[in-house]
Chains A and B, each alone.
Chain A
Amino acid sequence: MLELRLVQGSLLKKVLESIKELVTDANFDCSSTGFSLQAMDSSHVALVALLLRSEGFEHYRCDRNMSMGMNLNNMAKMLKCAGNDDIITIKADDGGDTVTFMFESPTQDKISDFEMKLMDIDSEHLGIPEAEYHAIVKMPSSEFARICRDLSSIGDTVVISVTKEGVKFSTKGDIGSANIVCRQNTSVDKPEEATVIDMNEPVSLTFALRYMNSFTKATPLSNTVSISLSNELPVVVEYKIAEMGYVRFYLAPKIEE
């Protein structure tokens, strides 16, 4: 038996909106640690890892580890029917082939349940090694989204370079080229508006902008984003989910053939 009650149901709505473009079908894993997911996009170029820790739920019952295969588009369709202020409860029976999403309005005057069919998904689980990154950039998530959107109107790829001068996002296309440099800026009024660059070694990597733009669908989840870079490693673009966990996107770089 599984029963997870999330008072801030809008978080789950936002999580689905952030990953459904990248991943079609995925197994949600439920254990005493929390509600998690790991899945690759269909081209096996990007990977998404989600964790919603059990402590973040008002009620968390998971009698035994369960893996539930869901079509994310269908799940998103159901969660769209929940109000932004609704409490969402996820329920499933051991060995069952459905999951139920229950939505309660804040005043308890409307209670809905939506039952969705589960599916068998044969997906491989990847081991993500602990890595020391050469550089970690923390910046406002809206700023990062703006940069990715702006650059994708000029080119298809972005070169992200971190030096002691700052972080540079560059692109080139048929009509010309563009460079955007963000300097470390910690003297802002609010910490979430700061750009913080933690660099051990200079790093420069090239990525497909199409994927970066897809990751920025997670912007509503967090005011800040952290971008961890090492030469010859996938970049990690992380959006922390307040009090609960994170959505991390890993993207393999473009490399010399």
Chain B
Amino acid sequence: LKAQARIARYFGSC
């Protein structure tokens, strides 16, 4: 089963 990843997993705050 696959879970939905969030954008924060890839892009950090700047």
Identify the A interface with B (CB < 8 A). 40, 43-47, 124-129, 157, 206, 208, 233-234, 250, 252-257
Chosen A-B contacts, 11 in total, with CB atoms closer than 8 Å, are: A43-B4, A45-B4, A46-B7, A47-B7, A126-B13, A127-B11, A128-B11, A157-B2, A250-B11, A252-B6, A255-B5
**Given known A-B contacts A254-B3, A257-B2, A44 and B8 have beta carbons under 8 A apart:** yes
The main secondary structure of chain A at its interface with chain B is loop
In whole angstroms, what is the CA distance A234 to B2 when docked? 15
Chain A: CB-nearest residue to B3: A257
Chain B residue at minimum C-beta to C-beta distance from A250? B7
Out of A206, A252, A256, which one reaches B10, CB within 8 Å? A252
User: Do A255 and B7 contact each other (CB < 8 Å), given the known contacts A126-B12, A126-B14?
Assistant: no
The 9 closest A-B pairs by CB, nearest first: A127-B14, A254-B2, A252-B5, A126-B11, A257-B3, A124-B13, A44-B6, A255-B5, A47-B7
Residues from chain A with a CB closer than 8 A to the CB of B12 are: 126-127
In the complex formed, the residue of A with least CB distance to B12 is A127
**Contact pick for A125, options B2, B10, B13, CB 8 Å:** B13
Q: Which residue of A lies closest to B11 (CB)?
A: A126
Known: A129-B11, A257-B2. 10 other contacts (CB 8 A): A40-B7, A44-B6, A124-B13, A126-B7, A126-B11, A206-B2, A208-B4, A234-B7, A250-B11, A252-B9
- Size band of the interface chain B makes with A: 10 to 19
Q: Which residues of A contact B5 (CB under 8 A)?
A: 45, 252-255
With the chains together, A256 CA to B4 CA distance in Å? 9
Partner of A257, one of B1, B7, B9, B13: B1
Q: Inside 8 A of B11's CB, which chain A residues have their CB?
A: 47, 126-129, 234, 250
> How distant is the Cα of A157 from the Cα of B14 in the complex, in angstroms?
31
Most A Cβ at <10 Å: residue of B2, B7, B12, B14? B7
Min CB–CB distance A195 → chain B (angstroms): 27
By the criterion CB–CB under 8 Å, are B2 and A256 in contact? yes
CA distance A173 to B11 in the complex (A): 31
A194→B3 CA distance, assembly (Å): 34
A84 to B11, alpha carbons, bound, how many Å? 36
Rounded to whole Å, the gap between the CB of B4 and the closest CB of chain A is: 6
Selected from B2, B8, B13, B14, the residue in CB contact (under 8 A) with A255 is: B2
Name, among A46, A206, A254, the residue most crowded by chain B CB atoms within 10 Å (CB to CB): A254
Cα–Cα distance between A125 and B13 once the two chains are bound (Å): 6
